[in-house]
């Protein structure tokens, strides 16, 4: 009896395991969800840089870069040059963060915002216009550098 139970469990495992893997590979987050996440990080990046919290700014720009790469990998229909147009502003932001240069950060941030809007226009979504935020929706997070 134990033999049949073990064989049955093994059989079920052999059948269900590939199905579970296949389902995981089929999931692709909607592009709008990825972009919404980037937009939130774009806001956080602004306030972190504006207040000189360079550690948080580094984290946020790295997350934006990773999300843009994910979007480009998952959505091959987006013209590559539109996504790669964000590379120079991201590098400029990273350099400004490393130098702790607020003016260079603001310029790089503005250039990133322009690149985002150019991509939206290029894929027929010109009704999505990103701008420098005027107020933080994250009232539960401090963007000032931590006191150490």
Contact 97, 57 (CB under 8 A): yes
Residue 121 structure tokens: 């226009």
The mean pLDDT of the chain is 88
Count structural domains, the chain. Answer: 1
The pLDDT score that the predictor gives to residue 2 is 58
Q: What percent of the chain has pLDDT over 70?
A: 83
Contact 61, 93 (CB under 8 A): yes
Judge whether 81 lies within some domain. Answer: yes
Judge whether 144 lies within some domain. Answer: no
Helix (H, G, I), strand (E, B) or coil at 101: coil
Judge whether 93 lies within some domain. Answer: yes
Distance, CA of 110 to CA of 55 (rounded, Å): 20
Number of neighbouring beta carbons within 10 Å of residue 35: 20
Number of neighbouring beta carbons within 10 Å of residue 92: 18
Domain harbouring 112, CATH code: 1.20.120.10
The pLDDT score that the predictor gives to residue 84 is 86
Judge whether 37 lies within some domain. Answer: yes
Domain that holds residue 37: 31-122
Judge whether 18 lies within some domain. Answer: no
Judge whether 137 lies within some domain. Answer: no
Q: What percent of the chain has pLDDT over 90?
A: 73
Q: How confident is the model over 34-56, as a mean pLDDT? A: 98
Judge whether 69 lies within some domain. Answer: yes
Question: Residues 109-113: contacts with CB within 8 Å, 24+ apart?
Answer: 109/45, 109/46, 109/49, 112/42, 112/64, 112/86, 113/42
Judge whether 89 lies within some domain. Answer: yes
Q: How far is CA 66 from CA 20, 81, 87, in A?
A: 26, 17, 11
The pLDDT score that the predictor gives to residue 44 is 98
């Amino acid at each position: 009896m134990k033999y049949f139970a073990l064989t049955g469990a093994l059989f079920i495992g052999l059948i269900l395991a590939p199905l579970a893997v296949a389902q995981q590979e089929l999931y692709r987050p909607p592009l709008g969800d990825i972009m919404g996440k980037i937009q939130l990080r774009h806001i956080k990046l602004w306030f972190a840089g504006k207040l000189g919290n360079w550690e948080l700014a580094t984290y946020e720009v790295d997350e934006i870069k990773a999300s843009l790469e994910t979007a480009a990998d998952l959505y091959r229909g987006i013209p590559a040059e539109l996504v790669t147009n964000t590379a120079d502003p991201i590098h400029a932001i990273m350099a400004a963060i490393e130098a702790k240069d607020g003016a260079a950060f603001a310029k790089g941030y503005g250039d990133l915002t322009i690149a985002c809007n150019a991509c939206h226009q290029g894929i027929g979504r010109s009704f999505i216009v990103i701008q420098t935020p005027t107020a933080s929706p994250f009232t539960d997070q401090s963007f000032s550098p931590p006191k150490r």
